[in-house]
Structure 1
Amino acid sequence: MTSSRPALRMRDISKQFPGVRALSGVSLTVRFGTVHAIVGENGAGKSTLMKILSGTYQPTAGSIEIDGAEVRMHNPADGQKLGIRMVHQELNLVPDLTVAENVFLGRMPTRRGMLDRGEMVRNAARVLKELGTVIDPNCRLGDLTISQQQLVEIAKAYAAAPRIIVLDEPTSSLSEHEAGILFGVLRKMRDAGIAIIYISHRLREVLDIADEVTVLRDGAMIETRPVAGITAADMIRLMVGRDVSDLFPKAEAVIGSPVLEVENLSDGEHFAGVSFDVRAGEIVGLTGLVGAGRTEVARAIFGLSKRTAGTIRMRGQTVAPKSPADAMRAGIAYVPEDRKGDGIVPGMSVRENIGLPIIRSLTRMGWIKDSDEKQLAKHYAKRFSIVPPDPERRISTLSGGNQQKAVLAKWLAAKPALLILDEPTRGVDVGAKSDIHAIVGELVAEGIAVLMISSELPEVLAVCDRVVVMHEGNAAKPLMRDELSEEKIMALATGEGVQ
């Protein structure tokens, strides 16, 4: 039941860090029984504003009211006492505990001073059922997929009966089917009167789930509007201060002969009998629901996981990569899904990260040739418009989009014939998405073959020349560009399509 009563008022919030003004006079009102989206590019101030709401940061200026009463929070515990719960993009769970223990972490039920495990498991099962999942509450969390762990994180917040819940990119690791389940849960929470703040780069999701949307840019509030009166194009224009006429531009490229050929590839566990090829100058999409085997296929091609059957050919020659080094020698590069965990070395500079795959060629007599490494990093920082354009800056201080550009630069320095991109625009803002696809467009125009794994169907439909859809470890016959539609892809991904 939608309420006109404000759950939250943040008035004229400013936040000053040494040398940086992160927020400048931001005001936000969120009502009980509504979903209020906050959108903006990376660096717009969304995370800082939410850290102030949670009590992690204190504002330099401004005030906060919860249900009409002014409050001051000195730490996250104060925010939780006020009924504020955060669901972060980075999971905040304990892998070695069970699902039930994670859901009630810090709030485990007791009986006569002892943990009441039966009650905890029953309550966790109830919460998970309401979320529409079939996750076993007794299962060890670390044994679940990333998407299942994300649902457990949401269940943890939901189980605390919040008055205000903040979700930061909650669908970043979920398939469209799983996101649909989440949206059903959010609507239930909204109808129960909970105020929901929803942060996402996926503008179509915002239009689908939100009642109102606030746009931030450069630490300032640009506008708040009802979602019923705004379009994705409007939001992009407000977010970036310019028109982005085509978020996923389709590059023109001459498609040549096969670079990668995969025939009846299997790993005996996640996928079987997978066959497709990728040609020079072509972008082939590999899509399907989370858990369908897409990433496992990519990892097998790159030598990161085992293969039990099948053949891989690069430019007509049979190869059998047993390690990434083998794959790189064959001309294969792989940009992984987990940018922070697998794509970068956070403690190193942009220069050091870009030079990693070709460190041998940059080394003489056991010493790295700094001048060559600096020249390489400057070249790619300029070519890919990495901001700030300082190769000596620690890569972890860059925005997600600029980190991803650096990861692309790192692998392109190795001059691959095949580039595998696993969710290349996940968790980056709309401007960076456009930049990344422009870079990919340049690469295919130069003759590089691209295999792109993506869960975003608009992205797949816009940029791919052909699409391979996976369902439960099996790959359908590739769809040609003129055959593509969201309905056909989803039918194949859910096992309902017929070829």
Structure 2
Amino acid sequence: MTDALLSLRGVHKRYGATHALRGVDLELRAGEVLALVGENGAGKSTLVKMLTGVIPVDEGTMSLNGVARTFANAQASQAAGILAVHQETVMFEELSVAENIYVGRHIMRGPFIHWSAMNTQAQAVLEQIGARFNATTLVKDLSLAERHLVEIARALSQKAAVVILDEPTAALSQAEIRDFYGIVRKLRDQGVGVIFITHKFDEIFAVADRYLVLRDGTAVGSGAIADATEQELVKLMAGRAIDQIYPPIASQPGEVVLAVKDLSHPTEFNNLSFELRRGEILGFYGLVGSGRSEAMLAIMGLNPAATGSLVVNGQKLNARSPGDAIAAGIAYVPEERQRQGGILSFSVEHNISLAGLGRFSRGIWLSKLRESELCQRMIERLRIKTQSPDTLLSGLSGGNQQKVVIAKWLGLDPRIVILDEPTKGIDVGAKQAVYQLIGEMVEQGLAVILVSSELPEVMHLAHRTIVMRRGLQVAEFARADAHAEHIVAAASGLGHAPVPSPSAPVFEPEAVAA
């Protein structure tokens, strides 16, 4: 490593009275992966927007290859060789993968698009990252994980000098994440400077060479990853040591509140049977595509092709719509909070009251007073950090957005809460707050289904963990018997998974419909 490829010196950014960045210094060398670490609201997104030309620098200097640069817009930043792959994909769904990769810079032959050359070159980039779909495939036919691979392919196709990876693995399976590590290392070996933003410490230590920690808009620590520990990074991020991120769960499971029997779907899952008890956290773990989320959608009446028996509090439930499940006391916090859980352009108050408008209205008239009372109660109960109830949801950090989505459903006083990837894309401090909230929910008598790809979450929080693989319920572990290697073996099918606990039914792979 020689001179800096990219450097920031004394960079400031203000939004009115908010001082988002306070004299930040950053240095990125060619052939290096720099982990940019910090809690939500620390200034990471503001820094990325500066680098990509979305917002200007108020004070300080930005240099690329030793030359001071300013970018009037995102196109100027891309032309200089700085590209970003974001967590939330924005694509043209009716266009092909190749068209999305080369959007705005189509390969031309005279006045016409050179389709064969563009498709061939796009296919070569896709093969480089191990994608299992063709360049001519329409984006609307891709999964969320596959769309992230298209974003990565777009950056690779432009031979960027600096690549910013902003939570790029959030929607990828374990196998795809391992492949992605190889892609990052390949970029580094080619002399590209990579800024890697993630909340997952295992990813930081797997691919990064150095780290820079932001807290409240200030750079509070940097150094070599080889000399750092997870505990040190957490302390720098939060400004305090977090010795125990997972709270003790004091509740003891009581009577059965949900009994699921032979829940099946023609293509997604088969013969799921389990019970959920009052005051219990029941974990669901599995790799991407295991059918966990699809099963939860069926319980909420959002998967009409599903069959099977549901009994809630002793009463049979025929959930043909979400309204049926909600009336039975079931709430569902979806995985994609910004697309399915909340409305970013609505205020905090309107998001919290959205699921229960009937409770605040008389005929066609909405009671503003009752709506405001619920909102204030939920803000206090969940400790939501917002300037006011009228603040737009888009103005909150990821962790507080998640709290608002959870508050929306808790306002209905449910008996059963399904949490699908509740800590996806939020930082360690926000995770701790969500874990504390889950503990409080079950201590108050609610029953929680926790669907998570984060193995430590289900191991530390769940009273029991059900493991799914390829649509099948393959094992169940009590908390005392939940060992990481056993759970992963069951989820992946590698080696021999241990015998499930006696309460867990055993399913054979032949039971799945072809």
- The CA deviation at 1:150 is 0.9
Structure 1's unaligned 5+ residue stretches are none
Query: Distance in 1 between the 2:285 and 2:390 partners?
Result: 36
Residues 289-438 of structure 1: matches in 2 within 5 Å?
A: 289-388=287-386, 390-438=388-436
Query: Distance in 2 between the 1:51 and 1:4 partners?
Result: 26
- The CA deviation at 1:23 is 0.7
Q: Please state if 1:102 is matched with 2:105.
A: no
Structure 1 match to 2:279: 281
Query: Distance in 1 between the 2:113 and 2:225 partners?
Result: 45
Query: Distance in 1 between the 2:445 and 2:295 partners?
Result: 23
Query: Distance in 2 between the 1:477 and 1:224 partners?
Result: 43
Query: Distance in 2 between the 1:230 and 1:337 partners?
Result: 32
Instruction: Give SS of 2:279's match.
Output: coil
Structure 2 match to 1:31: 29
Q: Please state if 1:14 is matched with 2:15.
A: no
- The CA deviation at 1:113 is 3.3
- Return the letter of the residue paired with 1:123: Q
Structure 2 match to 1:58: 56
Return the match for 2:86 from 85, 88, 100. Answer: 88
Query: Distance in 2 between the 1:115 and 1:136 partners?
Result: 19
Query: Distance in 2 between the 1:176 and 1:459 partners?
Result: 16
Structure 1 match to 2:148: 150
Residues 136-147 of structure 1: matches in 2 within 5 Å?
A: 136-147=134-145
Q: Deviations over 1:172-202 (max 9, x none)?
A: 1122322111111101111111100001111
Greater mean alpha carbon deviation, residues 350-359 or residues 7-16: 350-359
Query: Distance in 2 between the 1:419 and 1:429 partners?
Result: 22
Structure 2 match to 1:125: 123
Return the match for 2:239 from 238, 241, 253. Answer: 241
Query: Distance in 2 between the 1:414 and 1:358 partners?
Result: 6
Structure 2 match to 1:455: 453
Structure 2 match to 1:49: 47
Return the match for 2:200 from 199, 202, 209. Answer: 202
Q: Please state if 1:177 is matched with 2:172.
A: no
Residues 460 and 479, structure 2, Cα contact 8 Å, conserved in 1: no
- The CA deviation at 1:255 is 0.7
Query: Distance in 2 between the 1:304 and 1:9 partners?
Result: 49
Cα distance change on mapping 1:223 and 1:358 into 2, 3 Å: same
Greater mean alpha carbon deviation, residues 123-132 or residues 437-446: 123-132
- The CA deviation at 1:389 is 5.6
- Return the letter of the residue paired with 2:204: V
Q: Deviations over 1:30-53 (max 9, x none)?
A: 111111010111111111111111
Query: Distance in 1 between the 2:67 and 2:311 partners?
Result: 66
Cα distance change on mapping 1:123 and 1:443 into 2, 3 Å: same
TM-score w.r.t. length of structure 2: 0.94
How many residue pairs get aligned? The number is: 497
- The CA deviation at 1:92 is 2.2
Query: Distance in 1 between the 2:137 and 2:56 partners?
Result: 38
Query: Distance in 2 between the 1:339 and 1:177 partners?
Result: 24
- The CA deviation at 1:358 is 2.0
- Return the letter of the residue paired with 1:246: Q
Structure 1 match to 2:510: none
Return the match for 1:190 from 174, 188, 191. Answer: 188
Query: Distance in 2 between the 1:280 and 1:210 partners?
Result: 43
Structure 2 match to 1:259: 257
Query: Distance in 2 between the 1:473 and 1:151 partners?
Result: 24
Cα distance change on mapping 1:485 and 1:126 into 2, 3 Å: farther
TM-score w.r.t. length of structure 1: 0.96
Structure 2 match to 1:441: 439
Greater mean alpha carbon deviation, residues 162-171 or residues 483-492: 483-492
Residues 107 and 118, structure 2, Cα contact 8 Å, conserved in 1: yes
Query: Distance in 1 between the 2:131 and 2:482 partners?
Result: 30
Instruction: Give SS of 2:178's match.
Output: helix
- Return the letter of the residue paired with 2:419: L
Greater mean alpha carbon deviation, residues 106-115 or residues 318-327: 106-115
- Return the letter of the residue paired with 1:55: G
